Chain A
Amino acid sequence: MGEQRYNMTELLICVAARQIPDNVTVFVGTGIPMLAASLAQKMHAPNLMPIFEFGGVGARLEIPPRAVGGSRTFYKAIGAYGICEVLETACRGFVDYGFIGGAQIDPYGNVNSTIIGPQYYPPKIRLPGSGGGNDVGSLVWRTIILMRHEKRRFVPKVDFVTTPGYIDGPGAREAAGLPRGSGPYRVVSTLALLDFDEETKRMRLLATHPGVTVDQVIENTGFELIIPDEVGVNEPPTEEELRILREEVDPERFYI
């Protein structure tokens, strides 16, 4: 991205922030999701209600937290509860959006953050495990997945389904007992913005990042993507977004 006036992290944060409207509840973790929620709160979504899994509800995201249970996750918040309260709130259908990440994703939005390799134990590579990922991906209405876009990460079948997406197609979530109408909503990758086809529940390209071609996205995806007739291009970060991001969201430049 050479002479760009922004870096990849900043672009991801901006594209992720634009997916969240005002007056919604969002499960956020530390890092990019937190910065995206903070940016959205300061741009177009002043009433965005961030929820952190260890109990923080409705914090003013003035200083970026460094841990999902850190004190900044309930700084000037509406409520400071515990895990049960916030996850049970999601169980009852009160949480609209949630962010998760992972090491692998498949065409149905199933995400792996547990192990890499064919054998469960001992594994070739051990990753952290579900944490709140499975809870968020099971319970919120719309899951947004953040991914580094590489062929080895966008795979036909993930090595381990830590968090279910649409599992193996239409109706599979409901058949498994997961809440009706929930599931993956967007994938924000380092190359593009993607969603899921309503009919097949397979991943579909929505828009490429500035300077990225459709072919590049296809080349870096290990399965067949649905490519619609018209593919958009994401707006690069605006001057205003960058100013707020650098001066207000993460002035210590801890993340960006």
Chain B
Amino acid sequence: MRILESGVGKLIQPPDMDAFREWNREKKSRAMVDKLMTEEEAIARFVTDGCYLGTELYGTVRAPMSLVREMIRQGKKDLRLVGQGVLETDLLLGAGVVAEMDLTYIGLELYGTSQVFRRAAENGRLKQIVEWSNGALTWRFKAAAMGVPFLPVRVMLGSDTFKHSAAKVAECPFTGQKVCLVPALILDVTLMHVHRADRYGNAQIDGISGFAHEIARASKRLIISAEEIIDTEEIRRYPERTIIPYFLVDAVVHAPFGSHPGEMAYMYARDEEQLREWVEASKTEEGTQAYLNKYIYSLSNHQEYLEFIGQERLEALKAAMEGR
């Protein structure tokens, strides 16, 4: 295959498919073992400084916020991060623990650009940014999930997004047309929040699935947090709902309101008030640190966080979520 162009971005996490296979053979137990543990234990055991990390879905939607807060609380640092981020990435950048990023979007959607991201990029504190599109990143996970080193795709072509990526343009051996080759992305750790799981890690998600299917299969370690822990018999009753089977999972954390201040489909609405609080606070470095203090450093775990938010407010968020 003739390579016509190469992006100048760094390949932060080069793929090694045989090493991934061997990892999956040796390090991922096929036994149904109880993996239920606290956020504190899961992060301490599986997240290391400098690891390559991903989160799913994103910031204000079914996001593993209790796990992200715990990671910041434990001071995990020099992270290499993939993502689209709305709030989770903001918090990590605000805490100053991200070194390099494979990036598609960091912003606050309707609240505009992310001020912590602007500061981190414009003063060069982030050492490396590599550009991708949402599709390109998801197909990178998909390639890893397929066990192949790259996939040909038809996005990023003819753009500076390509130029500042680590993708390549090649001549297709079958059609002669140009295709963009995106390298498989194998993550060290993924944090994901789901609606329900059993204690072995069999997991169900309601509503859209984002990129849960792909990233779960592209990760060496997978930490699941779930709104509800259910019996395995319930999993077996509806096997078609198991988007993630237990053998992909390393830790299961019971985290009611784990996505707060983000939303959880059919369960609770997002907490607009706290999101606005972040938008305001993140405008300055001092405000950012004050927010992190208030919601992360001064609280010892997710249980304390929920008590701090208050039952009344959480109940109101439940009531605000429309049904089916």
A71-B321 in contact given A87-B135, A135-B155, A138-B157 (Cβ < 8 Å) = yes
Interface majority SS on B: helix, strand, loop or mixed? mixed
Encode A114-137 as 1/0 by CB contact (under 8 A) with B. 100000111111111111111100
Hey, which chain A residues are within 8 Å of B60, CB to CB?
A: 66-67, 69-70
Q: Is the CB of B209 within 8 A of A129?
A: no
Question: Which residues between 178 and 237 of chain B lie within 8 Å of chain A, taking CB atoms?
Answer: 178-180, 207-214
Residue interface bits A128-157, CB-to-B below 8 A is 1, else 0: 111111110011000000000000000000
Known: A139-B154, A164-B159. A69 touches B57 (CB 8 A): yes
Closest Cβ of chain B to A87, distance in Å, is 4
Closest to A127 in B: B113
Most chain A beta-carbon contacts within 10 A, residue among B123, B157, B272: B157
| A164 near B109: Cβ-Cβ < 8 Å | no
Binds A, one of B34-42, B125-133, B279-287, B291-299: B125-133
Q: Any chain A CB within 8 A of the CB of B43? A: no
A177 to B321, CA, bound (A): 43
B158 touches A128 (CB 8 A): no
Give Cα distance in the complex from A220 to B45, angstroms: 57
**A83 lies within 8 A of chain B by Cβ:** yes
Which of B62, B133, B139, B209 touches A131 (beta carbons < 8 Å)? B133
| Interface residue SS majority, chain A | loop
Contact of A125 among B122, B135, B179 (CB under 8 A): B122
Known: A82-B209, A124-B122. A131 touches B84 (CB 8 A): yes
Q: Give the segment of A16-24, A72-80, A196-204, A236-244 that binds chain B.
A: A72-80
B114-A71 in contact (CB<8A): no
Which residue from chain A places its CB closest to the CB of B112 in the assembled complex? Answer: A128
Say whether A66 contacts B161, CB under 8 Å: no
Please tell me if B160 contacts chain A, counting CB pairs below 8 Å: yes
Is B103 engaged at the interface, CB distance under 8 Å to the other chain? Answer: yes
User: In whole Å, how far is A5's beta carbon from the nearest beta carbon of chain B?
Assistant: 25
A83 and B135 contact, CB distance less than 8 A: yes
Q: CA separation between A172 and B270, bound complex, in Å?
A: 43
Indicate if the CB atoms of A178 and B122 lie closer than 8 Å: no
State how many angstroms separate the Cβ of A248 from the closest Cβ of chain B: 15
8 Å CB contact of A130 from B123, B134, B157, B270:
B134
In the complex, chain A residues 192-248 whose Cβ is within 8 Å of any chain B Cβ? none
Known: A74-B208, A84-B213, A134-B161. 20 other contacts (CB 8 A): A31-B110, A63-B322, A67-B59, A67-B263, A67-B270, A70-B270, A80-B207, A83-B135, A83-B138, A87-B134, A123-B121, A126-B113, A128-B106, A130-B131, A132-B134, A135-B133, A135-B135, A138-B154, A177-B157, A177-B169
Q: Which residues of A contact B (CB under 8 A)?
A: 30-31, 52-56, 63, 66-76, 80-84, 87, 91, 114, 120-135, 138-139, 160-164, 167, 172-173, 175-179, 255
